[in-house]
Chains A and B, each alone.
Chain A
Amino acid sequence: AQSVSQHNHHVILSEAASLELGCNYSYGGTVNLFWYVQYPGQHLQLLLKYFSGDPLVKGIKGFEAEFIKSKFSFNLRKPSVQWSDTAEYFCAVNAGTGRRALTFGSGTRLQVQP
């Protein structure tokens, strides 16, 4: 069964600091990878996704993620965070095509201090 690990549970940064959130998955086949963001009291919104092609994907709000197949990783990055990036971030995996739900990581709470 597929699983997703997010090792950073709570990250506190100052504005303008750079961000990298780790995500590792366990599945040997083709995967589709996603990062979702949940702002306080809101629903999940898609930040970015990887299906195939260029392993460096760019998403909304200046976020990007790099798929490294050999490391089973899909880390999320942002060069300079803002206070408005304070939220919960979820990495999710779908094992290729087929009738499968997303498997989510446990989430990383990002707190950006002004």
Chain B
Amino acid sequence: DTAVSQTPKYLVTQMGNDKSIKCEQNLGHDTMYWYKQDSKKFLKIMFSYNNKELIINETVPNRFSPKSPDKAHLNLHINSLELGDSAVYFCASSQLGTGSYNEQFFGPGTRLTVL
């Protein structure tokens, strides 16, 4: 059983379009994350939700809007896509709380290509 899954795995789209990426985890974790990996492989946090509450919102254009319908799902919607949005987007989850160490489990990634 896949612990953290993302759909789609590949996404090719035109500039200006709106697209969504979905993430689901079956680990029972209370916290989920979106990371962006650029062409140089650098990974950077974008957002994090804990129990459906937004707890991390890094400097990301407001064209990016995360949504967490429940603890097991965290979706990422991107409006008006730009060339610079091309990257691999990774979802991750972890269990936070007293005494936790925030070991994160990653999904397979979504490779977004904006033409």
B68 interface contact, C-beta 8 A: no
When A44-B90, A107-B42 are in contact, do A97 and B101 touch as well, CB less than 8 Å? yes
When A44-B90, A94-B102, A104-B42 are in contact, do A99 and B109 touch as well, CB less than 8 Å? no
Q: Which residues of A contact B12 (CB under 8 A)?
A: none
Interface hits, A86-113 → B, CB 8 Å: 88, 90, 94, 97-104, 106-107, 109
Stretch at the interface among B14-22, B48-56, B74-82: B48-56
Q: How far is the CB of A105 from chain B (nearest CB, A)?
A: 9
Q: Which residues of B contact A101 (CB under 8 A)?
A: 33, 35, 45, 48, 56
Quick one: CB contact mask for B74-115 with A, threshold 8 Å, 1 for yes? Answer: 000000000000000010000010111111111111000000
Taken together as a complex, chains A and B put the C-alpha atoms of A102 and B102 apart, in Å, by 8
Query: Contact size class for A?
Result: 20 to 34
Interface hits, B31-72 → A, CB 8 Å: 31, 33, 35, 40-45, 48, 50, 55-56
Q: Which residues of B contact A43 (CB under 8 A)?
A: 90, 106-109
Q: Is the CB of B43 within 8 A of A104?
A: yes
Closest to A36 in B: B106
Q: Which 5 A-B pairs have the closest CB atoms?
A: A101-B45, A104-B43, A44-B106, A43-B108, A94-B102
Query: Which A residues form the contact surface with B (CB < 8 A)?
Result: 32, 34, 36, 38, 42-46, 49, 51, 88, 90, 94, 97-104, 106-107, 109
